[in-house]
């Protein structure tokens, strides 16, 4: 999976976070469309690492969203 992230960074000019998010979106899409993929084989046993990186990314995005929301609420209150 690290190779895939590196290729997305090099070829699509994505940051590591963007590459991880892109993989997550593709995985989610394929799961929802019931496309049968052996994700364990696809990630070659590194799915736990991917899940942890995705969690960290989503946590960071969530914190940033809350910060923006708080700023907007403060501006509206003013």
- Give the C-alpha separation, 48 to 63, whole Å: 22
Residue 10 has pLDDT above 90, yes or no: yes
Identify the residue with better confidence: 35 or 43. Answer: 35
| pLDDT attached to residue 30 | 85
Contact indicator for 49, 40 with CB cutoff of 8 Å: no
Residues in the chain: 78
Contact indicator for 8, 19 with CB cutoff of 8 Å: yes
| pLDDT attached to residue 73 | 60
pLDDT in tens, 48-66: 666 677 777 777 766 666 5
| pLDDT attached to residue 17 | 87
Q: Which of 31, 9, 29, 36 is nearest to 20 (CA)?
A: 9
């Amino acid at each position: 999976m690290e190779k895939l992230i590196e290729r997305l960074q090099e070829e699509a000019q994505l940051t590591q976070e963007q590459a991880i998010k892109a993989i997550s979106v593709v995985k989610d899409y394929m799961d929802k469309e019931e496309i049968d993929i052996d994700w364990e084989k696809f990630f070659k046993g590194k799915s736990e690492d991917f899940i942890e990186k995705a969690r960290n990314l989503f946590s960071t995005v969530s914190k940033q969203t809350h910060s923006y929301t708080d700023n907007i609420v403060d501006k509206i209150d003013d």
